[in-house]
Structure formats: structure tokens, C-alpha cells
Structure 1
Amino acid sequence: MSSTNRRTQRNADDYYVTPHWLIEDFLAAFAENNMLVCSPDEDPRVLDPSAGGCEQYPMSYPTVLEEEGFIVESWDIREDSRANLTGVNFLNVPSYESRKYDMIITNPPFNLAQEFTEHALEMVKEGGLVIMLQRLNWLGSQKRKPMWQKLPLAAVYVHSKRPGFDPLKPSKTDSTEYAHFVFSKGYELAPELFVI
């Protein structure tokens, strides 16, 4: 997802390469604030349902998480993705009791972010984490107000440095701020705000 020139130059399948440094910064801040409820030592079930990757670039979240010691299942709707399972529409995968994940983390298509979040919450265990990279302005809009009143948002990690999503132009940053939104199934307290 990228907001720069989105009206005129939208990538096919809404595929944008999430910079690894952005994920690394988030994971460091997340661990520092003791919000990481699962560690690689506990062998958690982790899923990236829109993992991306292509012939030129590796998958972003699975690559960084695996460097941290996690084992990550990766899915993508695109057939040319490097995901373990390709051609998979995450929103059409039924949530089975036996397939509950500890953490689902991804950069979903912006226009399906709410649906991805709600479906991911059905697929994690009680207390499980759903982490979505989104524009900070995802918090806004009257249309999304009911969503924010019902979803178990635990924390928002705002990135103070704007990312770019085009590896061929690494110095070209996006036109808006981004955050990792952390949901925890069953969470009932007020969300926390962190600035990275």
C-alpha cells in the first residue's frame, strides 16, 4: 500500500514492497514495550496472509520475522508471489478452531484492511495478535468509526520516518505517515500509543 500517486499509478494487485527497516523498527519497539506475547522459543503459529514477494524481491514480513527466529506461514493471492501458498484469497479461507494462530501480521490491501483485520481476529487464539501496517489516517473517517468502537485495538506504533514502497527509488518516501496497528483478541483496555 502506498498513498503516493495512488490515483494514477496503483500497482497491480495493490502490491507494494514493505521496507525491511520499517518492520525491524516496529519489532524492536514492540519487544521494548513488552507487547510481544510470543517469542520464537515458544514456536508460535505465525501467518502473513498477503506476504508478497516476487521474482525481484523477497517477502517482507516473513523474511524479517524468520531472521528473528520465527517460523512463518506465508500466503498470497498473487500466483507470482514467493509465498508458501499462492493463489489464496485470505478472506475466503474459513477459520477453523484447530488452525488458530498466535499472530497474524501483514501489510494488507488498503481497501480490504478492515476485512483482513476482522477475518484475522477470527483466525487467532484468544489473546492472539493481529498486526496491520496502515496509513495513520486509517483511524479517521466516519465510515470506519463503528469498526474502531468494536475491534480490540491494543496499541498503535506510529513510524516517525515515512517509508517508501518502491525498492528502485529507496530515497522516495510516501506522502503520509504509517503505523503498525496491534489488535489482541479479547483485549478490553484503552489502546496505547507509541512513536517509533
Structure 2
Amino acid sequence: MQNRSHAVMAQRAEAADSPDDFPTPPWATRGFMEHVINDCGPFSKMSALEPACGAGHMAKVLKEYFGEVRASDAYAYGYGAVRDYLDVPYEANAVDWVITNPPFRLAEEFVQRSLMVARLGVAVLVRTVFIESSGRYRSLFENIPPTKFAQYVERVPMVRGRLDKKASTATGYAWLVWEKEKVGFPRLMWVPPCRKQLERDQDYS
């Protein structure tokens, strides 16, 4: 019998050479823009980079807000440039924002690199458990804490390799945001219920 406990279902272990392709539902990216960094605009005058773009589901939404969006991925999905973000880095201060759903096992490295690439801010979508780990605390959060921690109150279902409107999940997701011009303690936020308002049928076509 399948073990369907939340502890087991929330795990997502990927091999070291896995592309870790779990596309972000577009409504979740809109929720981030509308409720987490909505005070950081006007975005129409800014640029953004999505360096783990996959098939472009997040980058396409970012284009609804930002004046310029660059997109790349280490694997060829038919969208954006094929470029390993950690091996072939972008120049310092290349864009205003770096916004991405990085491979979970590389999320810390993505943050460190992005803090050099972005002029204004960095945002990563991660499993909520990412904030755990004494090692990650010592290497990242202790010295470079995020300015915002934004937890989704609705579940954000992600399925390997595709979008699935009917998918479900036991995994919680949150955004960590570093605003480079702000200092102080991290702000705890919630992404309020917004799927019904921000989801569009064409997102899945």
C-alpha cells in the first residue's frame, strides 16, 4: 500500500544530473507579482532574468509585468537561451531583478549568484523547508537574510515536466526575496488565496 502521509508526499528527491523540471503554475507567479513585490515597481521600466526558465511558464508571466525579460536554462526546452547559470554566469548588475524557481538542490547557489547579477532584487520560489538546515543558515541566512519570506496559503501543485490544472500536492511553497536596497529583519508575509482570480484557461494550452 502506498504511504500517503504528508511527510512522505512532501519529499521531492532528484538525482544530481536531473533537470529538476517542475513548472510553476502561472497563477502562482502572478500571485507573487501582485502580493509580494507589488510595492517595488513600476516594473514596466525594469528588467528581469529567469535563469531556470524551463518551457517558459514563469518567464511568460513576468513579461506581463516587466519591460524586459531575459530567460535561460541549462537544458533545451525550446524557450530561452541554453545556458548553465552557474557555469556561464551573467555579468554583475546585468538586470534589475532575478526571479526564478531554481532546482531545489542548487537553490542556495542560485541565490548567491543572483545577488551579484541583480541590481535591485532576487526572488526564489522554494519549498518551505528550504529555510531549515543549520548549514544553509550558516552559509546564507545568517549573513545575507532575505527581506521577505512569503508563504502561499494555497497549495501550489507542481508536476514533473508539465503543467497540470488538476494536480494536487502536500508540499508547501514560499518565496524568499532579497531587496538589495533594504536592511533589517526579514518580513513574514503570506500570498493570500488568489488562484481563482489569477488563473487563466490559456495558461494550460
Calculate the TM-score normalised by the size of structure 1: 0.82
Whole-Å separation in 1 of the counterparts to 2:188 and 2:95: 25
Whole-Å separation in 2 of the counterparts to 1:7 and 1:18: 17
Deviation string, structure 1 residues 106-131 (Cα, Å, up to 9, x no partner): 00000000000000001122xx1100
Following superposition, the deviation at residue 78 of structure 1 comes to: 0.6
Which of these residues, 52, 61, 74, is aligned with residue 71 of structure 2? 74
Matched-pair contact (CA < 8 Å) for 1:152–1:185? no
Which of these residues, 115, 118, 122, is aligned with residue 112 of structure 2? 118
What letter matches 1:82 in structure 2? Answer: Y
Root-mean-square deviation (CA), in Å?
2.4
Following superposition, the deviation at residue 80 of structure 1 comes to: 2.7
Which of these residues, 88, 101, 106, is aligned with residue 107 of structure 1? 101
Which of these residues, 130, 139, 143, is aligned with residue 150 of structure 1? 143
Following superposition, the deviation at residue 171 of structure 1 comes to: 2.6
Whole-Å separation in 2 of the counterparts to 1:183 and 1:107: 15
Partner SS for 2:36: helix
In the superposition, relative to structure 1, how do residues 11 and 168 fare at CA in structure 2: closer, same or farther (>3 Å)?
farther
Following superposition, the deviation at residue 65 of structure 1 comes to: 1.3
**1:184 paired to 2:166:** no
Deviation string, structure 1 residues 2-26 (Cα, Å, up to 9, x no partner): x756348999410111100111111
Whole-Å separation in 2 of the counterparts to 1:8 and 1:138: 15
Paired position in structure 1 for 2:43? 39
Segments of structure 2 that go 5 or more residues without pairing to the other structure are 1-8, 192-205
Partner SS for 1:46: strand
Following superposition, the deviation at residue 132 of structure 1 comes to: 0.1
Report % sequence identity.
24
Q: Superposed, which structure 2 residues align to 1:13-92 within 5 Å? A: 13-32=19-38, 34=39, 36-40=40-44, 42=45, 44-53=46-55, 59-83=56-80, 85-86=81-82, 88-92=83-87
Following superposition, the deviation at residue 38 of structure 1 comes to: 4.5
Matched-pair contact (CA < 8 Å) for 1:38–1:102? no
Matched-pair contact (CA < 8 Å) for 1:65–1:72? yes
Paired position in structure 2 for 1:56? none
Deviation string, structure 1 residues 103-160 (Cα, Å, up to 9, x no partner): 00000000000000000001122xx110000011111111211111112411011101
Which of these residues, 143, 160, 163, is aligned with residue 153 of structure 2? 160
In the superposition, relative to structure 1, how do residues 8 and 96 fare at CA in structure 2: closer, same or farther (>3 Å)?
closer
Whole-Å separation in 1 of the counterparts to 2:137 and 2:179: 19
What letter matches 1:24 in structure 2? Answer: R
Matched-pair contact (CA < 8 Å) for 1:103–1:129? yes
In the superposition, relative to structure 1, how do residues 25 and 189 fare at CA in structure 2: closer, same or farther (>3 Å)?
same
How many residues end up aligned between the 2 structures?
A: 180
Whole-Å separation in 1 of the counterparts to 2:14 and 2:48: 35
Segments of structure 1 that go 5 or more residues without pairing to the other structure are 54-58
Following superposition, the deviation at residue 37 of structure 1 comes to: 4.2
